[in-house]
A = this chain, B = another copy of it.
Amino acid sequence: MALVNENYLKLPGSYLFSEIARRVNKFKKDNPDADIIRLGIGDVTRPLPPAVVEAMKKAVEEMGRQETFRGYGPEQGYEFLIEKIIENDFRPRGVELAIDEVFVSDGAKNDTANFQELFGIGNILAVSDPVYPVYVDSNVMAGRTGPVNAKGQFEKIVYLPCTEENGMKPPLPRTRVDMIYLCFPNNPTGMTLSKEELKKWVDYARENRSVILFDAAYEAYIQEEGVPHSIFEVEGAREVAVEFRSFSKTAGFTGTRCAYTIVPREVMVYDSTGKAHSLNSLWLRRQTTKFNGVSYPVQAGAAAVFSEEGKKQVKEMINYYMENARIIREGLEKAGYKVFGGVNAPYIWLKTPGNMGSWDFFDKLMKDANVVGTPGAGFGANGEGYFRLTAFGTRENTERAVERIRTRM
């Protein structure tokens, strides 16, 4: 008799975004004429940069000709892309990486979800709260947690509260943790850590032989000088950190699919005899066994992000979204809201007025302003009383949404 992985049964039945969809659909049915503006899901809306489109078309044509056709590529990605990643995203920041430390994949969601496979089931993980749900759910599925409690928190996970009091910066854990998920610029709060703040985490991990799983999917949105784009800008991080990057938010690849993960050769995990094993070799084994590489035309498109025109076009796109972020942030502040993020990230994290519950605020915002966002409670217990808006809408919709929040709420 085939038995189920009972860890899956620990997951709550409904997901955040399906509950949002359910409420929006009901509202639309009851109010068919409502002009709804969506600033909820973190999906981009600007088209692919022309340099990417051209490179992908050229690559598709190559696939159609006998002499330039490509079959299976290397599971870890083509060197033509990896070299450009190192040269453009890391070397200018003083970070040197070897070709075999970069693993190209079809999504940072996949990589952040799959990477935990390399770790023993007995590891204790720490996540910030609020948090991107994939870190938690993938570990629940693997059996690294106990059951969920009434607050929506899983036993054995160490939650690091990010609150108004600590400026949305997770405190160091007070009990032992082995795997630490950090995401900066943060989803959902939009906040960043300075190099000094990040160094505390690297030092903690080195002292405790923990591994930091650093999600930098939003690094392209950093506007301020001095904010680290990569954890590897911090001394010692190569010994204890893995970094996840994506072309999704950087270059509009949410529907095109390309990302990459940096696994330095020095990062180690230990077996029960205390012997060290390289995460880099383990991830290579995992990827060669369970993955077959990213589509060649997609990798060709990703490489074009680093061409002169590509870089210019991507910069324009980021500026467009960050102007939206400014409009939301300043508009909400003027309207009397307390807001976080939106300076170095495409997310604005607002405190609901009068301690309103975040789902109540969701309903009110939809009803009164016809604007859809994401209730903070969906990201964890400490997200209650907060609400996420994204800068990924069109300029016109962003301006109209802010105007409506200002005048109708």
Chain A residues within 8 Å of B, Cβ to Cβ: 1-6, 8-9, 11, 15, 41, 43-50, 52-53, 56-57, 60-61, 63-66, 69-73, 106-107, 109-110, 113-114, 117-123, 134, 137-138, 141, 178-179, 208-211, 252, 254-257, 268-272, 277, 282, 285-286, 288-298, 301
Contact of A297 among B1, B3, B56 (CB under 8 A): B56
Question: Distance in Å from the Cβ of A175 to the closest Cβ of chain B?
Answer: 14
Q: Which residue of B lies closest to A209 (CB)?
A: B1
Q: Are A8 and B282 in contact (CB under 8 A)?
A: yes
Q: Are A292 and B64 in contact (CB under 8 A)?
A: no
Closest 10 CB pairs of A and B: A3-B120, A53-B64, A113-B290, A43-B71, A4-B269, A47-B69, A71-B254, A1-B209, A70-B255, A2-B178
Q: Which residue of B lies closest to A134 (CB)?
A: B289
Chain B hits for A118, CB < 8 A? 4-5, 8
Most buried by B among A45, A65, A73, A107: A107
The contact sample of 16 A-B pairs, CB cut-off 8 A, is A3-B178, A3-B271, A4-B119, A4-B271, A5-B119, A5-B120, A8-B277, A8-B282, A8-B286, A45-B69, A47-B63, A48-B60, A52-B64, A110-B291, A114-B290, A255-B296
Chain B hits for A15, CB < 8 A? 288
Most buried by B among A3, A61, A120, A290: A3
Q: Are A289 and B257 in contact (CB under 8 A)?
A: no
Q: Are B45 and A11 in contact (CB under 8 A)?
A: no
Contact of A255 among B41, B45, B72 (CB under 8 A): B72
A60–B54 Cα distance when bound, in Å, is 9
Chain B hits for A64, CB < 8 A? 47-50, 52-53
Chain B hits for A297, CB < 8 A? 56, 60, 256, 297-298
Q: Which residue of B lies closest to A75 (CB)?
A: B109
Contact of A3 among B2, B45, B270 (CB under 8 A): B270
Q: Are A270 and B119 in contact (CB under 8 A)?
A: no
A45–B291 Cα distance when bound, in Å, is 20
Q: Which residue of B lies closest to A269 (CB)?
A: B4
Contact of A69 among B46, B70, B295, B301 (CB under 8 A): B46
Q: A2-B209, A63-B255 are in contact. List 6 more A-B contacts (CB 8 A).
A: A44-B71, A48-B60, A48-B63, A106-B106, A106-B292, A255-B293
Q: Are B69 and A2 in contact (CB under 8 A)?
A: no
Chain B hits for A70, CB < 8 A? 255
Chain B hits for A65, CB < 8 A? 47
Contact of A4 among B44, B282, B301 (CB under 8 A): B282
Contact of A294 among B8, B66, B257 (CB under 8 A): B257
Known: A2-B178, A3-B271, A60-B297. A291 touches B48 (CB 8 A): no
Q: Are A179 and B2 in contact (CB under 8 A)?
A: yes
Known: A60-B56, A118-B8. A3 touches B269 (CB 8 A): yes
A134–B52 Cα distance when bound, in Å, is 34
Known: A61-B53, A107-B292, A288-B15. A270 touches B47 (CB 8 A): no
Q: Are A290 and B50 in contact (CB under 8 A)?
A: no
Q: Are A3 and B122 in contact (CB under 8 A)?
A: yes
A6–B273 Cα distance when bound, in Å, is 11
Known: A4-B270, A271-B6. A289 touches B41 (CB 8 A): no
A41–B114 Cα distance when bound, in Å, is 27
Contact of A289 among B60, B138, B268 (CB under 8 A): B138
